[in-house]
Amino acid sequence: VAEGATTGYGYGILGDYKTLNTYYSNGTYYLYDVTKPMNGVIETRTAQNGSSLPGSYSVDSNNAWTAYSQGADVDAHYYAGVVYDYYKNTHNRNSFDNNGSTIRSTVHYGYQYNNAFWNGVQMVYGDGDGSVFAPLSGALDVVAHEITHAVTDYTAGLEYRNQPGALNESMSDVFGYFVEPNDYLLGEDVYTPGVSGDALRSLSNPEAYGQPAHMNNYVYTSEDNGGVHINSGIPNKAAYLTITSIGKAKAEKIYYRALTVYLTSTSDFSDARASLLQSAADLYGYGSSTYNAVVNAWNQVGVY
Ligand SMILES: O=C(O)[C@H](CCc1ccccc1)CC1(C(=O)N[C@@H](Cc2c[nH]c3ccccc23)C(=O)O)CCCC1
Ligand SMILES: [Ca+2]
Ligand SMILES: [Zn+2]
């Protein structure tokens, strides 16, 4: 039979049914999605619980990706497609580099690895140990967080330390919300599968998860590249305040413009305030209600 694009189906890690854009060749189906415009490919691989990357293609014999062990592969592939569609449909961005680069994910990385990361080239997801984390590709906001690191690398290029790093982190959490706006939590779908209602972080209440929500409580530390996952609570809170006052549609436009037009590798929190104000002025007018909402949000977190 001819080779080419096919449509399969499978179950994510939470047992949810999903249809999948796959590829058939020579008796084997691959998690290889060629349906995106301008040759934007999405491919998903497995490290088979080793740590060598990129690993081998996730394959299936009958295009029914229903094995329990395939849940992480199914989610990584499907959610990468959701994030591709978000950036294309909302911001007219073709993949993370705006040039149709392949979005590559590798799942089953390491043994019970309780984390995930963008390594500068691709996304990598651990399976979690089943207590702290379920397989991390099982959360759409986590997948959006990781792909947004790639977008940031190709645009603002925010250094991954101190305030620029916390801003980098915040952009990934904030676009994680824009892609999955059902709550202000991050990672709730995979964090502590045995405990309901908790999460890794919260945009609305950073303090609930040990993060500062005001500049007075900025944490000066050498850990975590200068506390990039801690101090992101401050810009995250400002984003929450902005979103709740101007709405998601306007907020994602000013955030995308700030990230892609104004922010640079060494931008700090004050530069972020200025970039978002400039973006609000560009799009909605200097002194507009939108502009003033951004002023108010950053005042409330003590950043001027
Ligand atoms: O992308 C990121 O910012 C995080 C990348 C962490 C990483 C960096 C470099 C090499 C390996 C791993 C991964 C995520 C993260 O925020 N990790 C935090 C929290 C965390 C997850 N698993 C952990 C295990 C131990 C300690 C902290 C954590 C961290 O690494 O700090 C993002 C969304 C979910 C996981
Ligand atoms: Ca969420
Ligand atoms: Zn991150």
Please determine, for the modelled complex, whether the ipTM score is greater than 0.95: yes
Per-residue model confidence (pLDDT) at position 38? 78
pLDDT tens readout for residues 25-58 = 999 999 999 999 877 899 999 999 999 999 999 9
Q: Would you call 229 a catalytic residue per the annotation?
A: yes
pTM metric for this prediction:
0.98
Contact 31, 91 (CB under 8 A): no
Nearest alpha carbon, ligand 1 atom 23: 115
Q: What CA–CA distance (Å, rounded) separates 258 from 89?
A: 18
Judged by DSSP in three states, 56 sits in strand
* Residue-by-residue DSSP string for 215-246: GGG----STHHHHHHHHTHHHHHHHHHHHHHH
Using the mean position of ligand 3's atoms as its centre, give its distance from the Cα of residue 7 in Å.
Answer: 31
Given a cut of 70, the residues of the chain with pLDDT beneath it are 1
Using the mean position of ligand 1's atoms as its centre, give its distance from the Cα of residue 117 in Å.
Answer: 7
**Choice among 108, 145, 146, 169 that is catalytic:** 146
Residue of 112, 114, 115 to test ligand 1 pocket, by largest number of atoms within 8 Å of CB: 115
Ligand 2 ion: nearby residues, β-carbon < 5 Å? 141, 180, 183, 185
Per-residue model confidence (pLDDT) at position 40? 80
Per-residue model confidence (pLDDT) at position 2? 85
H or E, element range at 281: helix 269-284
Per-residue model confidence (pLDDT) at position 37? 85
CB atoms within 10 A of CB 33: 23
Mean pLDDT in the chain?
Answer: 97
Work out the burial of residue 111: count CB atoms within 10 Å of its CB; fewer than 13 is exposed, 13-18 middle, 19 or more buried.
exposed
Per-residue model confidence (pLDDT) at position 115? 98
CB atoms within 10 A of CB 78: 24
Q: What CA–CA distance (Å, rounded) separates 133 from 118?
A: 18
Contact 12, 25 (CB under 8 A): no
